[in-house]
Each structure stands twice: as structure tokens, then as C-alpha cells.
Amino acid sequence: MNESSAHGERLGIVVGGSLTGGMEVKLDSATPIEEMAVGRYVVIEGQTSRFFGMITDIELGAIDQQLTITPPDIADSFIADVVTGTSTYGKLQVTPMLTISGDATSLLEGPKPVKTVPRHFSPVREASEQDVELVFGREDERHFYVGTPLDMETKVCLNIPEFVTRSNGVFGKSGTGKTFLTRLRLIGMVQKGAAANLIFDMHNEYGWEGTSEHVPNVKGLKQLFPSQVALFTLDEESARRRKVSTDYVVQIGYDEIEPEDIALLRETLNLTEPAIEAVYQLAREFGQARWLEGFFDLSTREETKELLEKLHVHESSYRNLRRGLERLKRLSFLTPRARDNSVQRILEYLDRGMHVVLEFGRYTDITVYVLVANILTRRIYDQYRERMERAMGEKVDKPHPLVITIEEAHKFLNPEVADQTIFGIIAREMRKYNVTLLVIDQRPSGIYDEIMSQLGTKATYLLDNEKDIDSVLMGVSGKSELKTVLSKLEAKQQALIFGHALPMPVVVKTREYGSTESYRELGFREAAELKRKAEEEIKDLF
Amino acid sequence: MAARIGEVIEASTGSFVAECYDLHSPPPLGSLVRTSDSEVDIFGVVCHASTESIDPGRRPVARGRDEHDEENIYRQHPQLSRLLRTTFETLAVGHRQGDNIYRYLPPRPPRVHGFVYLCEPDDVRRFTASLDFLTILLGAKEVTADEVISACLRLASCAYDDSRAFLVGAGKELAILLSSDLNRLNSVLRRIRQ
């Protein structure tokens, strides 16, 4: 082990600061300021403990105002070398996040949240790989490697069992790598077996194979873990065209659509408030299970008129509703009577400890996505809730934790509908019933604040919009510092991850995925290799 | 063996004056010299040198009107080298006791008639390993203090393989010491830059 890997290079000394505002660190004259970067980790060697922190700002200082008015002649390299770090110097703003005490008990307990500051002139050095490992853990049966910190080779690991106990979020502008990170996290959850996954895969990215901007196509969950993942689809034809073999084709019966589902689609189906009201009245008239079918069955003008009068529904509201619901009728997976109970099938798979990816095929319309995700989730959640309650009462095993992945989350969780959708309830009630969400979104500001604040671990890629940034960082300590870090992320593959499953915020470069090696690291074996291994084992046996 | 160049003829706490054995051969301005007071070696930096008549009442007169060559004057008047003498003044900047070098004033001034040696590069390196003595030079009352400092650093840098690194280090030290007087800092830096 060489010196620098055990102890990172010295950068400077603490010259001031506060716990809330972060520490001011004056750089040594030998430390080149242009090699510093926000988001990077440093260790401050206090008198009794070490402080682990993150660089949140970098600034230039001058010892005398006069220097800024009559600058020295730095075209002369000698003068430039002399004044660097003496008359002019670099300063870092470091937010201390964790303390690592030197005594044996604290070494066992691991890093603790910071409650004080290091004393004046404590030396500051780059965090070494060992330091980072001490903080983020080592890849093992609980920790899944998601990426590396900035300019380091160390692995940042996510504590998966902790991760799944809360609802989580992945945010970022389009094309920054949300899908990529989500796929990695899903793989992590499948690999560690911490939770069953139900993934509403709007763009057919996670199941069989996904697209990537660098390599032609990357393997999806089913290819990596064929025996643990079941591929469901809404659109058999699309799957066939893509040469993807699916395990089950989902159909939804009219009887499974409830008025709340339509209310949720108010915006996307362009329905008016009275039209939604009419849906509830129809449900009262025909019954929860039969209302949609009853509505479609209205054929004659007289019959319709009679019903509208009876329900006090205005003609224009009826027409508005009709136009909206006709759109649903055209969806091939919606049938008056489903031939099988899709929810039951999904639950069966989930109960067997398998993970279900529901592909939407060509139905990439948000209306379909919201409708299907809501219908299925509501019923799955009901079942989970029932089982959990039974488990509490009868001391039987609790159901296996379930993580539901949804994209375009602001459509489900915006302030107008968050109270009505099942997702709002799951996000709020969280882990009580062992069901949590993994929400993926590019407009986090569209998500209801109350839900945003309940998310455990958030990962965010670059965001431009001030409102989105505020929304993601809401309630996080050191928000303004993290804001600087967030706005300086690279456009791709760099994410700021913080929250429950990590001891402190971290900027990671997401781990490589898509090459043969990366698949191997994740436990994938080519068929030929598996065969060879099997043959060897047979040989050993006899 | 260090070159012996003269003898102390006047000593005080902060400085001493030495007479050179050879006329017109004082050590260069800013060079590090060493003498001793029987117990400690005292280091000084040459801050002034002069050549004058031995008898302050008798000033030299010009003699070369008919000569073509300066050296001829001395050849024609061999007594001159006895009537004139070269002296140099040094500022005491530190001392050595045993193996330890201290970059502050010695407890006592050197003895008169103590031998004065020009320091060897080894000694120069050892003494300038720390630049604490710069404060003494900066605080000197000499009007030429800045010249002395820059000459001293330039000469010391010759003792190092990487003279630039030494000068940059010294420059940084000065930048801290002279942080409140940037004009003075700039003038010294301009004199030592490479």
C-alpha cells in the first residue's frame, strides 16, 4: 500500500467556518486549484476524530486588496509561482458530513453524522480509497456497487435492504441516464434478493433489452436473470416483432376499471369536471364493476337521453365523457371480460420471489400507462395490505417486500391527483405494508411536495430548472451547497445520490453497463460457458 | 576546507566588521560567512564592504594621470597595499551550537580577531534549509536591505541543484513576510527572479 492511497494527498488547512455554513479551507500553495472539483471528498484530520466531507465550493482569495487592483506580473512564471498560494490563494468550502472517531467502538459502529467542527488549522487531505470504502461500505451481500465517486476508483455501494424500506426516486433531465441508473438499481435489487420488483416499463427498456447511446443494445433483466424475472406484456404483437418471448399477456376487463381511474385520467383524456362527476353517478347506477360496460352498451338515443335525465347529467358532459372513453375502447388489451385475472398472475409470480416487468409495447401513451399502472397497483396493494395485516394478527410471515417502479411519476403524484392515486398512498404510508415505490421522473417539481419529502433515497442527474432543483433538494441539510454540486454535474452519467440508503450525499459516475465484462461482474454467464461448467461438474461427479 | 578571508575587527550583537586579508577582495554582497566565539559558530550575511585608508586622517590621492594601466599604479607604489585596507560588514543571522543551527542572533558577538570564513555550499544549504533568518535581514536598518536579501538568496540558490525551486520557496516566504508591503515584495522578487 503506498502512502497516497492510505492517506490521500494533503490539500490545505482549515482556517474557519461553521457547522451550518461549512468549513473554509485554505489550499496549500502546492495544491493546484484547477484540479479541485465540487462534489469531491476530503478528510479533515481533527484532533480527536476525522471528518469526512465534500467540497461544495471553490474560491480565489487575495491577501491584499491592492493585489486585485495592481496585479503582479504573472506572465513571468517565477512571479506567478511565488504569488500562488501566498499573496493569492485558493479556498475550498467543505461541508463536513460524517465523523470517524479513532477509538475501537466507533470504528465498529462506523461513521456518524457530524455534530461539531474540526479545530482551527486541522490539515485537510483528499479522501483515500480506504476512507471512501469505510463510508460507503464494500460490495457484499447487502451492498450493491452503483458507481465510483468523482476521480476515484473506489466503489460507492448502496445498502439494498435499507434502500427498499423506503420509496425512492431517480430524477434528471431527459437523456442524462435515469433509465441507466434505474436499470442498475433494479439489477441490484434482483441480485441481492432484497425485494420483489414490479416494473411498469413504459418504453420496453428494462425487460428484455434496452437501448443505449453508446453500445447497440444492452441486456435487460430477463436476459441477465432468466429464472428470476417474468416478462409480462400488454402488447403481444409488439413483443413478437421485437422477438421477445413473454411469459404472460395482460388483459384488463372493463369491470376492473373504477371511477377513480378515470378521474386520474381527467387531464390526459381532456375530461371536464362534470364529466368525471357523471362517471361516479354511472357507477352508482350500474355498480362499480359494470358501469363502463353499461356505458358502452348505451346504444339508442332514447335510452341515453333517459339515463342522462335520470342522473341529471348534461348532454355536453356526456359527449365529453363519451369522446374520452371511446379512446379507451380502442385499446386492444381492454376487453369487456378479461380471460384471466392478471393481478392474480402477477402476485403469483411475485410470491414465488420473481420479479415482474410489464412491457407496454406500442402503448407508450401516458393515458394507458397511468390507467394500467394504477389499476394493477391498486389491487396488488390491497392484497399486500391484507396479507400484512394478517401477518400482524396471526404472526405469520410478512409478505416479501415489493418495489413498484413507475416512470413519468409526476402524472401519478402531482398535487391534483396524488390523493386519488394508489401511488400517493404508497408513497405516504411507505413501508408499513412492505410496498414501496421507485419513481422516475424528469420534472420533480410536478410531484406533490408531501410525497417528495417522503422519498428515502433520491438520485438526481443534471437538472436545469430552478423549481425542479428546489423540489429534489427540499428538506436536505446543506441544500444550498448541494445545489452548487447539482448544477455542476456533467450532462451524462453523473448523479448526485443522497438519502436513506447512503450515509452522506455522493456524486457518482454510474458504473459501466453494457459490455461483456459488466455482465459478467453482475453474475451473467454466456450459454457456452454455462454448458462448459456443467460438463466439468459432470466430469467431476463421475 | 572553507576559505579563510579575513578577521573580525569590530563586533557587536547584531553585526560585525571584518578586514580582508587581500586588498579589494571582499566576499560578494549577500554571501554567507562564518566566524566563531570559541563556543558557537556565528553566521553572517555580508551587507556592506569598503576599501579605505588605514589612517582616517589621510585620504588616498589620485596617482594615475600618467599611467596607462591601473595595475601599474600599484606596481609603482607598492606601499599602497599596506596603507589601504578592505573591510566588510556582516549582519549576524544565526549561529551553530554543536550540530544545531539557529537562525536567530547568537548569545554573544564574535571575538575581535576571530577568523572569518566564506561558507562552503554544504554549509549554505544547511543554513538556508530554513529561511527564518529573512526576518532579520528584512528588519535591518541598512538602506540597501532589499539588495542584501536578494543578493543573499541569489547566491544561496547557486548551492542548490534546483536553484529555481529554492528561489520560488524563498519568494513565497517573502510574500508572506511582506504581505503588507507589496511594492517592496515586488522589488525584491524582480531582483531574484530567474
User: What pLDDT shows up at residue A237?
Assistant: 81
pLDDT tens digits for range B83-130 = 999 999 999 999 999 889 999 999 999 999 999 999 999 999 999 999
Q: Do A190 and A175 touch, CB atoms closer than 8 A? A: no
DSSP string of A397-425? PPPPPEEEEESSTHHHHSTTTTTTSHHHH
Q: How far is CA A180 from CA A39, A125, A255, A484, in A?
A: 21, 33, 37, 24
Q: How far is CA A179 from the centre of its chain?
A: 9
* Cβ contacts of A452 within 8 Å, gap of 6 or more: A169, A444, A471, A472, A474
A30 contact B CB<8A: no
Alpha-carbon distance of A213 to A177, in angstroms, equals 10
- Write out A281-323 in H/E/C secondary structure: HHHHHHCCCCHHHHHHHCCCHHHHHHHHHHHCCCHHHHHHHHH
Report the residue of B185, B187, B188, B194 to disrupt the A interface, i.e. the one with the largest count of A CBs within 10 Å: B185
Residue A79: its chain B contacts at CB < 8 A? 171, 189, 193
pLDDT tens digits for range B11-47 = 999 999 999 999 999 999 999 999 987 789 999 999 9
Look up the ipTM and state it.
0.80
Q: How far is CA A394 from CA A113, A388, A398, A401, A534, in A?
A: 39, 10, 10, 18, 44
DSSP string of A196-255? EEEEEETTS-SSSEEE-SSSSEEE-HHHHSTTTEEEEES-HHHHHHTT---SEE--EEGG
How far apart, in Å, do the first and last CA atoms of chain B sit?
A: 30
- What residue in A sits closest to B178 (Cα-Cα)? A87
Print burial letters for B55-91: b (CB count within 10 Å at least 16), e (below 16). eeeeeeeeeeeeeeeeeeebeeeeeeeeeebbbbbbb
Alpha-carbon distance of A194 to A172, in angstroms, equals 26
A60 contact B CB<8A: no
Q: Comparing A518 with B176, which gets the higher pLDDT?
A: B176
Alpha-carbon distance of A455 to A471, in angstroms, equals 12
Alpha-carbon distance of B24 to B34, in angstroms, equals 20
Q: How far is CA A503 from CA A445, A460, A497, in A?
A: 25, 16, 10
Residue A64: its chain B contacts at CB < 8 A? 179-180, 182
Kind and range of the H or E run holding A55: strand A49-62
Alpha-carbon distance of A302 to A285, in angstroms, equals 17
Closest residue by Cα to residue A355 from A310, A403, A399, A417: A403
User: What pLDDT shows up at residue A386?
Assistant: 83
Per-10-residue mean pLDDT of chain A, 542 residues long, equals 58 91 88 84 89 89 83 82 85 88 69 86 88 79 82 80 84 82 82 83 79 70 81 82 81 81 80 83 78 75 75 78 80 80 82 84 81 83 83 78 84 75 76 81 85 84 85 80 80 83 82 74 65 71 68
CA distance A64 to chain B (A): 7
Nearest to B182 among A29, A67, A78 (CB): A67
Kind and range of the H or E run holding A488: none
Amino acid A452 reads M
In chain B, what is the greatest distance between 2 CA atoms, to the nearest angstrom? 57
Report the residue of A82, A83, A84, A88 to disrupt the B interface, i.e. the one with the largest count of B CBs within 10 Å: A82
Kind and range of the H or E run holding A84: none
Nearest to A64 among B164, B174, B182 (CB): B182
Report the residue of A26, A31, A76, A86 to disrupt the B interface, i.e. the one with the largest count of B CBs within 10 Å: A86
User: What pLDDT shows up at residue A2?
Assistant: 40
Domain boundaries, chain B: 4-192
